[in-house]
Amino acid sequence: MNNLGNTLRELRRKVGLTQNELAEQVGVDDSYISKIENDRLPYPPSGETLRLLGRVLQANPLELLSLADRTPKEFAGFSSNPDAYDFFQTVARYDLRKSDWQALKQVVEQRRGRGAKPGEKESHS
C-alpha cells in the first residue's frame, strides 16, 4: 500500500539522499524525516513541508499532499493525474489575466462538447 512514509522513503532513495541530507535541504530535523517515513508522526506534515519535500525529491507535490490528506478538496481528483499536474505547472509559470482564464475555460468547454454538463460525455455528431 502506498502511503506517505513509504513513498517518501522510495523517492529519497531514488535521488540518493540520506534522511539527514533530505532533512538538511528541507530545513527540518532528520528525526522528523524518520518519523514520516516510519508513520510515527502524530500529525501530517504541513503543506509547505510537503511542497519542499516534493521540490527536493523531484516529485509531484500534489501527490505528497494527497498522501498526507492535505490536498484541498477542490483539487483531490488532480493529485494523481500527471497530465493535470503538468497543466497546472505550465499555468503557474504565467501571470494569467481574467481573460486568459476565460479563454482556457472556453477551450475546455469546446473540447468537451458545447453545452455538455459536468459528467456528461461529449457528443460526436
The SS3 assignment for 122 reads coil
Amino acid 16: pLDDT? 97
Q: Where does the pLDDT of residue 125 fall: very low under 50, low under 70, confident under 90, or very high at 90 and above?
A: very low
CB 60 within 8 A of CB 85: yes
Cα Rg of the chain, angstroms: 18
Q: Does domain 4-78 have CATH number 2.70.98.40?
A: no
Residue 23 φ/ψ, nearest 5 degrees: -60, -45
| pLDDT tens, position by position, 56-104 | 999 988 788 888 888 777 776 776 778 887 887 788 788 889 999 999 9
Residue 37's nearest CA partner among 81, 59, 67 is 67
Structural domain spans, the chain: 4-78, 82-111
